[in-house]
Chain A
Amino acid sequence: MFGTVLIANRGEIALRVARTCRELGIRTVAVHSTADRESAVVRFADESVHIGPPSAKASYLHMPSVMEAALRTGADAIHPGYGFLSEDPDFAEVCEAHGITFIGPPPHVIEKLGDKALARALMAEAGLPVLPGSVGAVTGLAEARKVADEIGYPLILKAVAGGGGRGIAVVRAGDQLTQAFRQTSAHARAVFGDDRLYVERFVEDARHIEVQVLCDRHGAAVHLGERDCSVQRRYQKLIEEAPAPNLPDTLRRQMCDAAVRGALAVGYVGAATFEFVLAPDGSFHLMEVNCRLQVEHPVTEMTTGIDLVREQLLIAAGLPLGFRQEDVTPRGWAIESRVNAEDPDQDFAPAPGLLTEFVPPGGPFVRVDSHAYPGWLVGPDYDSLLAKTVVWAPDRDQALARMDRALGEFRVEGRGLRTTIGFLRELLAHPAHRAGRHTTGFVAGMAAERAK
């Protein structure tokens, strides 16, 4: 097992990773930017290193600084969390070159799956259903139009290097294609440094269902069940739950089996998430594979009792999985709500500020993953995630009631600060959501209802 792990991340996930390390007796090193000098993980970790200015590019994304900190502190492994360097094959390779274990899949696997067009092709080869669309990236607008003529509208344009819901555009008719193509490719170039796009059929009224997979270095792979992440606003997840409501068992089994098959086909090692789009007719297709811990991983932890970060660490250390597929027995219902520092009345613009009060909910079966505390400055430099509120209950109704109770007691105050707590409670209480009949269009639809 590792002696020292450096956590190359910030916010709630850095703290969450550090907590499991502590439980395993592993020394932790937090790296931080100037803006995060007083952060919760810096206070919690055994050692911290100030690696750069607030700009992520010069701190959390700056490989030489992160590596320097790792070498200096004697870290034998780096946990990248999610975002930042977590899906950067170059970083994984640099770690390897310096004899430091990257906690994630091997660089060549990240590289293949990170190229969304290539991943699509590989997964189709492995027998996973992928949506009709372009074979790899399209060469330009002309080819995009040709593919569009074959598969029809609506379709979706996606950046090859995309992720996190960015670099995506839905095109409903042929006359919108030119503009959407140009905008999305310009956006992709700006955000990912890669303007290549691919084209897929867009599924209306779909659900977003993803499967958590764990693979060790010895060829074993298990799934930990699925999560429903259909409550999204502009492709950003707001509420996730496990299991997926109203999902027939046969379909669940097919999706989970497909994910395991896909993971084995590419020689995956570590924790992976296979994201599927489920159509109203019960057909499902793979969207993408994420080579990292997901934000919403706690719901899986709550239903399976398996600490995913612990498993990541054990797998990275070369240990075989300590359980077989038949040992994984999801139980009850878990829901996660992402409390963001955003203003729902200002189109969810980030609403940062200094926290004067922060009292997270407690009580039975409530877990709050957060880096916030009174006096913490929620700054403008990073994403707006403030706290993940997770609840568990024996069934969905009880879980929904518990989540509403928990969000109701959450007290967050700060000058200039706004949160999405009220909005989340509205979503949870909506009849479509209560019935578990919501699709990815749910939030936009509810906003439209409200506007009437």
Chain B
Amino acid sequence: MTTDLRDEAAKNGVVRRHATGVMRAAVAGPETADLAAMCHHVADLARTRPEPPSRIRLEHLGTALEIEWPSPVLETSASVSVPGVGPNAAESSSPRTDSLAANAADAAAAAGAAGAADDGLQRVCAPMIGTFYHSPEPGAPPFVAVGDSVVPGQRIGILEVMKMMSPVETQIAGIVREVLVPDGGAVEFQQPLIVVEPVGGR
């Protein structure tokens, strides 16, 4: 049953290895989902892998069901589908823009910043100057919200620099306590984006 569900999901392209290093299984529909049945499914799904899931999301009437596992495989984030890339995105095939893009990716990769404060909370900071987006596209649910638990390598937002999109990932495991920058807000290098209360080992 659980395997079927995963296979089904895989067929629909919903189970995928995320660039963030997270295995995620998600199921959508049918319309008449029964909450109890969904709970069973999610429990069964959660047991399909030996390691515990890092995140479970269950929506009822819209019928979403998501489970994430930390993945041992870290893939490079190749491309991000993004908001704000209008018709101008087509221009980005010029060599200049490509090199800008490569630079932007370099810089983003180079600086994975976490700011600690004496309140025991940690801050995930902007890896570069840019515009911070909460979700993959306008209107889509945010990557993270207050109360979510996050694992290292999980995407928490997108940073746009000169029409070049770079993922922002947390290097901290914990619970999101605050989102400091509004969606579409301008940020400087190392500006705190979200507050995470670390879990484990403290």
Question: A31 — nearest CB in chain B belongs to which residue?
Answer: B129
In the bound complex, how far is the Cα of B111 from the Cα of A33, in angstroms?
12
Q: Which residues of B have CB within 8 Å of A72?
A: 186
Say if the beta carbon of B170 comes within 8 Å of chain A. Answer: no
In the bound complex, how far is the Cα of B104 from the Cα of A57, in angstroms?
11
The answer to whether A64 touches B103 (Cβ under 8 A) is yes
In the bound complex, how far is the Cα of B191 from the Cα of A65, in angstroms?
14
Q: Which residues of B have CB within 8 Å of A63?
A: 100, 103, 162
Q: Which residues of B have CB within 8 Å of A59?
A: 189
Q: Which residues of A have CB within 8 Å of B188?
A: 49-51
Distance from B192 Cβ to chain A, minimum over Cβ atoms (Å)? 12
CB within 8 A of B162: which of A49, A68, A90? A68
In the bound complex, how far is the Cα of B94 from the Cα of A262, in angstroms?
33
The answer to whether A52 touches B107 (Cβ under 8 A) is yes
The answer to whether A52 touches B103 (Cβ under 8 A) is no
CB within 8 A of A94: which of B96, B128, B186? B96
CB within 8 A of B189: which of A65, A90, A93, A94? A65
Q: Is the interface of B mostly helix, strand, loop or mixed?
A: mixed
Q: A58-B110, A64-B104 are in contact. Are A50 and B96 (CB under 8 A)?
A: no
Say if the beta carbon of B161 comes within 8 Å of chain A. Answer: yes
Q: Which residues of A have CB within 8 Å of B59?
A: none
Question: B94 — nearest CB in chain A belongs to which residue?
Answer: A97
Question: A67 — nearest CB in chain B belongs to which residue?
Answer: B162
CB within 8 A of B161: which of A57, A65, A93? A65
Of residues 1 to 38 in A, which have CB atoms within 8 Å of B's CB atoms?
33-34
With most chain A CB atoms within 10 A of its CB, the pick from B104, B111, B129 is B129
Distance from B100 Cβ to chain A, minimum over Cβ atoms (Å)? 5
Q: Which residues of A have CB within 8 Å of B186?
A: 72
How many interface residues does chain B have, given as a range? Answer: 20 to 34
Q: Which residues of B have CB within 8 Å of A68?
A: 129-130, 161-162
Q: A58-B111, A62-B107, A68-B130 are in contact. Are A52 and B100 (CB under 8 A)?
A: no
In the bound complex, how far is the Cα of B185 from the Cα of A325, in angstroms?
51
Distance from B85 Cβ to chain A, minimum over Cβ atoms (Å)? 15
Q: Which residues of B have CB within 8 Å of A94?
A: 96, 100
In the bound complex, how far is the Cα of B188 from the Cα of A33, in angstroms?
10
Of residues 88 to 113 in B, which have CB atoms within 8 Å of A's CB atoms?
96, 99-100, 103-104, 106-107, 110-111
Distance from A71 Cβ to chain B, minimum over Cβ atoms (Å)? 8
Q: Which residues of A have CB within 8 Å of B161?
A: 64-65, 68
With most chain B CB atoms within 10 A of its CB, the pick from A50, A59, A64, A94 is A64
Say if the beta carbon of A53 comes within 8 Å of chain B. Answer: yes
Q: Which residues of B have CB within 8 Å of A34?
A: 189-190
Say if the beta carbon of A286 comes within 8 Å of chain B. Answer: no
Interchain Cβ contacts within 8 Å, total number = 61
In the bound complex, how far is the Cα of B104 from the Cα of A59, in angstroms?
11
Distance from B174 Cβ to chain A, minimum over Cβ atoms (Å)? 24
Q: A64-B161, A68-B129 are in contact. Are A50 and B190 (CB under 8 A)?
A: yes
Q: Which residues of A have CB within 8 Å of B130?
A: 68
Question: A33 — nearest CB in chain B belongs to which residue?
Answer: B189
Distance from B129 Cβ to chain A, minimum over Cβ atoms (Å)? 5
Question: A66 — nearest CB in chain B belongs to which residue?
Answer: B129
Q: Which residues of B have CB within 8 Å of A67?
A: 162
The answer to whether A51 touches B162 (Cβ under 8 A) is no
Say if the beta carbon of A390 comes within 8 Å of chain B. Answer: no
Distance from B80 Cβ to chain A, minimum over Cβ atoms (Å)? 15
In the bound complex, how far is the Cα of B99 from the Cα of A64, in angstroms?
10
Distance from B91 Cβ to chain A, minimum over Cβ atoms (Å)? 9
Q: Which residues of B have CB within 8 Å of A69?
A: 129
Say if the beta carbon of B46 comes within 8 Å of chain A. Answer: no
Say if the beta carbon of B164 comes within 8 Å of chain A. Answer: yes
Q: A34-B189, A50-B190, A52-B128 are in contact. Are A64 and B164 (CB under 8 A)?
A: yes
Q: Which residues of A have CB within 8 Å of B110?
A: 53, 55, 58
Question: B130 — nearest CB in chain A belongs to which residue?
Answer: A68
Distance from A33 Cβ to chain B, minimum over Cβ atoms (Å)? 8
Of residues 161 to 219 in A, which have CB atoms within 8 Å of B's CB atoms?
none
Distance from A45 Cβ to chain B, minimum over Cβ atoms (Å)? 14
Of residues 60 to 82 in A, which have CB atoms within 8 Å of B's CB atoms?
62-65, 67-69, 72
Q: Which residues of B have CB within 8 Å of A53?
A: 110-111, 189
With most chain B CB atoms within 10 A of its CB, the pick from A33, A68, A69, A90 is A68
The answer to whether A49 touches B111 (Cβ under 8 A) is no
Distance from A66 Cβ to chain B, minimum over Cβ atoms (Å)? 9
Question: A97 — nearest CB in chain B belongs to which residue?
Answer: B96
Q: Which residues of B have CB within 8 Å of A50?
A: 129, 188-191
Give B174-189 as 1s and 0s: 1 = Cβ < 8 Å from A's Cβ atoms.
0000000000001011
Q: Which residues of A have CB within 8 Å of B164?
A: 64
Distance from A432 Cβ to chain B, minimum over Cβ atoms (Å)? 47
Question: B126 — nearest CB in chain A belongs to which residue?
Answer: A50
Of residues 383 to 408 in A, which have CB atoms within 8 Å of B's CB atoms?
none
In the bound complex, how far is the Cα of B103 from the Cα of A68, in angstroms?
14
In the bound complex, how far is the Cα of B107 from the Cα of A63, in angstroms?
11
In the bound complex, how far is the Cα of B191 from the Cα of A69, in angstroms?
14
Q: Which residues of B have CB within 8 Å of A58?
A: 106-107, 110-111, 128
Question: A55 — nearest CB in chain B belongs to which residue?
Answer: B110
Distance from A84 Cβ to chain B, minimum over Cβ atoms (Å)? 14
Of residues 77 to 112 in A, which have CB atoms within 8 Å of B's CB atoms?
90, 93-94
* Ranked 8 nearest A-B pairs via Cβ: A50-B188, A64-B162, A58-B107, A64-B161, A50-B189, A65-B129, A64-B104, A52-B189
Q: A58-B111, A93-B96 are in contact. List 13 more A-B contacts (CB 8 A).
A: A50-B188, A50-B190, A50-B191, A52-B129, A53-B110, A58-B128, A62-B128, A64-B100, A65-B161, A68-B129, A68-B130, A90-B96, A94-B96
Question: What are 24 A-B pairs with beta-carbon distances under 8 A?
Answer: A33-B189, A34-B189, A34-B190, A50-B129, A50-B189, A51-B128, A52-B107, A52-B128, A57-B106, A58-B106, A58-B128, A62-B107, A64-B103, A64-B104, A64-B128, A64-B161, A64-B162, A65-B128, A65-B161, A68-B161, A72-B186, A90-B99, A94-B96, A94-B100
